[in-house]
Amino acid sequence: MTKNNLLADLKFKVFRSGNPVFFYIGLNTIVFVAVALFGVTYFLAGNTSIRFMDYVREYLAFPAALSKVPVRFYTILTYQFLHKDIFHVLFNMLGLFWMGRIFLDFLKPRQFHFVYLAGGVMGALFFTLAYNFIPVFSTSLFGATIIGSSASVMAIAVAVITLVPDYQITMLLIGNFKLKYLVLAYVVIDLIGIATTNPGDSFAHLGGAFLGFGYIKLLQKGKDWSNLFKKKTKLKVVRNDSPKSGGKSNGHVVNQREVDAILDKISKSGYNKLSKEEKETLFKASKN
């Protein structure tokens, strides 16, 4: 494969394939590489008093101090795509690829987008609430920030084990192993991590876990929060009760009830699950 073909293939997978796993892995990687390259330029220009990453973090990381949030409101999203080093982004993207593929075996891309982004938001909220309301963090409140997609990845992972708790994977030297035990081990590690030198990340991870768990539990009760991202398709159907050609009908007359039923089926099962007759009905409605 030539270089041009490789770049075209990567561009398609990230931006056009419709696969949210590739999209978020690509976006996180692009941001990391861009920041790293700017950091090299920044250093070679003689700016050695402060790392470029520390400069960027001041403006793109999510702050714990509530006084900073009004002027850094956008960081509730930007922090999710910023990583401190190669290992930070590498392990997060490996986890996202692994857990994301399982997620998409059972749920829709729209639901993946919601869980990923909302998991990051919930992680930020857990972080800032902990630092503002737990007295032990009061001395480090003003300078505390978080970066990384770990909360989002944790939300995806916990959503998976909540939906399919008995899902098994094969691990070297262990054999078949239930995925939930691995994810729960990470949750326990984050609980322990609260008492270490980096509690902010642990709170963010726990926030993502809470979101993933809550989303699936509500989904199982029939409430899908990802419908916020759902595009409402409306087809205007004109019913003609007076057929042309001497009173003879040219075929089946489409009514709104049929179209609504077909659209509901698409939202639940996808367009490919429609029968030939249903596709023809939808086509006729769109033509009208």
Q: Residue 176: what pLDDT?
A: 82
Q: Where are the alpha helices (DSSP H) in the chain?
A: 3-11, 20-44, 52-60, 75-78, 86-106, 109-133, 150-163, 179-193, 199-220, 256-269, 276-287
Residue ranges of the chain assigned to CATH 1.20.1540.10: 3-227
For residue 49, pLDDT over 70 is answered with yes
Q: What percent of the chain has pLDDT over 70?
A: 84
Q: What is the pLDDT of residues 127-154, one digit of tens each?
A: 999 999 999 998 889 999 999 999 999 9
Instruction: Give per-residue burial for 5-22: e unless 16+ CB within 10 Å, then b.
Output: eeeeeeeebbeeeebbbb
Q: What's the mean pLDDT in 31-60?
A: 90
Q: pLDDT, tens digit, for every residue of 161-216?
A: 999 998 888 777 777 888 999 899 999 999 998 988 789 999 999 999 999 999 99
pTM for the whole structure: 0.77
Name 106's Cβ contacts closer than 8 Å, sequence gap at least 6: 160, 163, 164
Say which range, 145-149, 181-185, 223-227, 246-250, has the weakest mean pLDDT.
246-250
What HEC string does 154-223 produce? Answer: HHHHHHHHHHCCCCEEEECCCEEEEHHHHHHHHHHHHHHHCCCCCHHHHHHHHHHHHHHHHHHHHHHCCC
Integer Rg of the chain from CA: 24
The CATH number corresponding to 3-227 among 1.20.1540.10, 1.10.3720.10, 1.10.10.10, 3.40.50.1100 equals 1.20.1540.10
Q: Which residue has the tokens 């270490």?
A: 196
Asked whether 117 and 149 are in contact (CB, 8 A), the reply is no
* Encoded amino acid at 26, one letter: G
**DSSP category for residue 17:** S
pLDDT at 248: 43
Share the mean pLDDT of the chain.
Answer: 85
Q: Which residue from 28, 240, 260 is spatially nearest to 147, judged by alpha carbons?
A: 28
